[in-house]
A and B are shown apart, each in its own frame.
Chain A
């Protein structure tokens, strides 16, 4: 990586020859009109995606045969950089002759692949991948318009990586099943984050709703919690290591006791954990409303203790400090 990256890329040199050629002469540029549609005995569809303020916008025109649902003509117009124009041109070409349903499966990666000069060399540099290859979204809009349905009905899952169309569900499953620990692992297993890299963490080319770093952290945390729960269920308190014991007690505090007391404006903190004569003493300190509450030494205390016993076993005694 280092040597190749130090001088920075010559951006335009990373464009394939096909991209350059289509930028110079986009063969499918232009509009289709109602008159064109009539001539072809088809239905005109005009879909827009993107915005000038985001740097890229594209308009896709189709004439679709209403009987066979085959796209008989496709054209585009685009506000965007060279790769946006070239990829829109390729997108229009890929739509041509396909049924609307088949076209709806065209992804940004398909467009990018079609623009490659050789199969293993990307047609555009990574930072151009998402911002300027916008096929999927505008096609989806065209499909929704053609079918007369709400676009949201076509979207069944939350997409995290737009370039590779990798969903949140896929990523979470991959993390869980393969015990993935890094973003690089996620990219390796799912391809998510391998293209424009916007979805890896905030601060990329584009703001995203979900980032891989957060998904990884949250999923790992959930996995950790489940493991603890599982251990608490299968392992008895007395035979846990000290660290595990502490974690188990903390978890009961965090998940049950503190929320319970918080309802009355109170709070409690775990201060220490010590064994004495086979009994585990849980030292606590009251906070908030509990601190001066008359029942803190009686009812509340016994409620806390019985809850801990129920969760962790009988050899527990709660000691307020």
Chain B
């Protein structure tokens, strides 16, 4: 049985073209780019191409920084802790604003900084599962150092109004960071147009390799390094450059941007087809209005069926999805998103996320709808609450 991968918000298949582009850097061009000899210097042109692709892909200017990091988790940590060290620890400011639906790498870093003495506001989302620019405006105080709001939510696919939030922050003189991990390759991400100060991404979410990410830092802004060491990345992020990763991420971003139109039309069409198919089931609810979501994601709650159980049945049929159900994780806290949009608490363990990519086919969607429908039928027959 062919397996069907509908968990692209967790990670994606590396585009075979990306894999191919990375191959020379393992056994042929394996030199350290910092070395003076030919092994080192021969990779520089390729790295420059990759960097150009990153700058172009994000719409960054020549005098902006795009630091190469190990992953978006590192990028997010660099911003949050950097701002803490530069502006909060010395007492100049004391406040960070973020949302209650950020990825743990933002949320837990903020909690850590809270323990270090920073004040953190976790803005709740509204009925659209969003935080609006006005909510941010009202939360800003004279002591606010940084606002960090994700571009798109990993669970629901909901897009936040980053441009407006960035404008509010600029007006108020507050730094603005966005975790754009779930937006890259799904919607247009242009750092100049959006007016953000910092932006994080991870290559493996857009058909690049795992273990490499980036952090955009607007010109004129400085952050203390998270990793101290050698002079790589002008001393702003030490550690031997991951040549294969950088080349792979550069190409992956270029391909992702090239495919934005396909994403907006074909991936969206397949997602909508999947969603419409699932909505034929009784007593199901999709979180978030379609027009507010990235084109690849549907987060659906199925009354009477616990998320992990549904995942189990889907997996048996070769279909990979994901659940917001806490049952599948270490903690029993229910999904904050379901609670936030005002759905009944009995639905908080029923969420399933299906996320497509440009590699998803129509046949896969048809099979997924069928398997999903059967699984719901079986589990509702066992369910004590349906």
Chain A contact residues, CB within 8 Å of chain B: 11-12, 23-24, 26, 29, 48, 51-59, 76-82, 84-85, 127, 131-132, 204-206
Residues of A within 8 A of B304 (CB): 52, 79
Q: Is A78 a contact of B382 with CB atoms below 8 Å?
A: yes
Residues of B within 8 A of A127 (CB): 330
Q: Is B384 a contact of A81 with CB atoms below 8 Å?
A: no
Chain A residue, CB-CB nearest to B339? A53
CB distance from A5 to the nearest CB of B (A): 12
CB distance from B339 to the nearest CB of A (A): 10
Query: Which listed residue, B326, B331, B384, touches A59 by the CB 8 Å rule?
Result: B384
Over the window 350-386 of chain B, the binary record of Cβ atoms lying under 8 Å from chain A Cβ atoms (1 yes, 0 no) is 1000000000000000000000000000000111111
Say yes or no for B15: interface residue by CB 8 A criterion: no
Residues of A within 8 A of B312 (CB): 12, 23, 81-82
Q: Is B384 a contact of A77 with CB atoms below 8 Å?
A: yes
Interface residue tally of chain B, by bracket? 20 to 34
Residues of B within 8 A of A26 (CB): 382
The CA of A48 and the CA of B328, in the complex, are separated in Å by: 23
Over the window 299-316 of chain B, the binary record of Cβ atoms lying under 8 Å from chain A Cβ atoms (1 yes, 0 no) is 000001111110010011
Given that A11-B328, A51-B346 are contacting pairs, would A80 and B306 also be in contact in the complex, using a CB cutoff of 8 Å? yes
Q: Is B349 a contact of A52 with CB atoms below 8 Å?
A: yes
Q: Is A82 a contact of B382 with CB atoms below 8 Å?
A: no
The CA of A69 and the CA of B53, in the complex, are separated in Å by: 76
Q: Is A81 a contact of B325 with CB atoms below 8 Å?
A: yes
Q: Is B306 a contact of A29 with CB atoms below 8 Å?
A: no
Over the window 313-349 of chain B, the binary record of Cβ atoms lying under 8 Å from chain A Cβ atoms (1 yes, 0 no) is 0011000000001111011101000000000111111
How many contacts between A and B, using CB within 8 angstroms?
Answer: 81
8 chain-A/chain-B pairs, Cβ below 8 angstroms: A11-B328, A24-B316, A51-B346, A52-B346, A80-B306, A81-B307, A85-B309, A131-B332
Residues of A within 8 A of B344 (CB): 53
Q: Is A53 a contact of B348 with CB atoms below 8 Å?
A: yes
Residues of A within 8 A of B349 (CB): 52-55
The CA of A24 and the CA of B304, in the complex, are separated in Å by: 17
Given contacts A53-B345, A55-B334, A205-B332, 4 further A-B contacts (CB under 8 A): A12-B312, A24-B316, A81-B309, A81-B328
CB distance from B372 to the nearest CB of A (A): 17
Given that A26-B382, A48-B384 are contacting pairs, would A79 and B306 also be in contact in the complex, using a CB cutoff of 8 Å? yes
Most buried by A among B312, B347, B350, B386: B312
Given that A51-B346, A53-B345, A81-B309 are contacting pairs, would A131 and B327 also be in contact in the complex, using a CB cutoff of 8 Å? yes
Residues of B within 8 A of A206 (CB): 332
The CA of A48 and the CA of B346, in the complex, are separated in Å by: 15
Q: Is B384 a contact of A79 with CB atoms below 8 Å?
A: yes
Q: Is B306 a contact of A53 with CB atoms below 8 Å?
A: no
The CA of A56 and the CA of B348, in the complex, are separated in Å by: 11
Query: Which listed residue, A23, A48, A55, touches B327 by the CB 8 Å rule?
Result: A55
The CA of A259 and the CA of B137, in the complex, are separated in Å by: 50
Chain A residue, CB-CB nearest to B328? A11
The CA of A54 and the CA of B332, in the complex, are separated in Å by: 8
The CA of A59 and the CA of B383, in the complex, are separated in Å by: 9
The CA of A23 and the CA of B313, in the complex, are separated in Å by: 9
The CA of A80 and the CA of B346, in the complex, are separated in Å by: 12
The CA of A84 and the CA of B306, in the complex, are separated in Å by: 10
Q: Is A29 a contact of B331 with CB atoms below 8 Å?
A: no
Q: Is B384 a contact of A58 with CB atoms below 8 Å?
A: yes
Most buried by B among A57, A58, A79, A80: A79
Chain B residue, CB-CB nearest to A31? B384
The CA of A24 and the CA of B316, in the complex, are separated in Å by: 9
The CA of A77 and the CA of B383, in the complex, are separated in Å by: 5
Q: Is B308 a contact of A82 with CB atoms below 8 Å?
A: yes
Residues of A within 8 A of B348 (CB): 53, 55
CB distance from A151 to the nearest CB of B (A): 18
Q: Is A57 a contact of B384 with CB atoms below 8 Å?
A: yes
CB distance from A51 to the nearest CB of B (A): 7
Residues of B within 8 A of A12 (CB): 312, 315
Q: Is B325 a contact of A55 with CB atoms below 8 Å?
A: yes
The CA of A53 and the CA of B384, in the complex, are separated in Å by: 13
Query: Which listed residue, A11, A52, A76, A85, touches B385 by the CB 8 Å rule?
Result: A52
CB distance from A318 to the nearest CB of B (A): 43
The CA of A12 and the CA of B312, in the complex, are separated in Å by: 9
Chain B residue, CB-CB nearest to A205? B332
The CA of A132 and the CA of B325, in the complex, are separated in Å by: 13
Q: Is B306 a contact of A55 with CB atoms below 8 Å?
A: yes
Residues of A within 8 A of B345 (CB): 52-53
Instruction: Give B234-255 interface residues, CB cut-off 8 Å to A.
Output: none
Q: Is A55 a contact of B384 with CB atoms below 8 Å?
A: no
Closest 7 CB pairs of A and B: A52-B346, A53-B345, A81-B308, A77-B384, A59-B384, A55-B349, A205-B332
Residues of A within 8 A of B309 (CB): 23, 80-82, 84-85
CB distance from A124 to the nearest CB of B (A): 12
Residues of A within 8 A of B327 (CB): 55-56, 80-81, 131-132
Residues of A within 8 A of B331 (CB): 204-205
Chain A residue, CB-CB nearest to B333? A205
The CA of A205 and the CA of B327, in the complex, are separated in Å by: 9
The CA of A51 and the CA of B332, in the complex, are separated in Å by: 13
Residues of B within 8 A of A204 (CB): 331
Chain A residue, CB-CB nearest to B386? A79
Query: Which listed residue, B315, B332, B334, B385, touches A57 by the CB 8 Å rule?
Result: B385
Residues of B within 8 A of A82 (CB): 308-309, 312
Q: Is B346 a contact of A55 with CB atoms below 8 Å?
A: no
Query: Which listed residue, B326, B330, B383, touches A55 by the CB 8 Å rule?
Result: B326
Q: Is A29 a contact of B382 with CB atoms below 8 Å?
A: yes
Q: Is B325 a contact of A78 with CB atoms below 8 Å?
A: no
Chain A residue, CB-CB nearest to B325? A55
The CA of A78 and the CA of B382, in the complex, are separated in Å by: 6
Chain A residue, CB-CB nearest to B381? A29
Query: Which listed residue, A11, A24, A78, touches B384 by the CB 8 Å rule?
Result: A78
CB distance from B304 to the nearest CB of A (A): 6
Most buried by A among B304, B305, B328, B386: B328
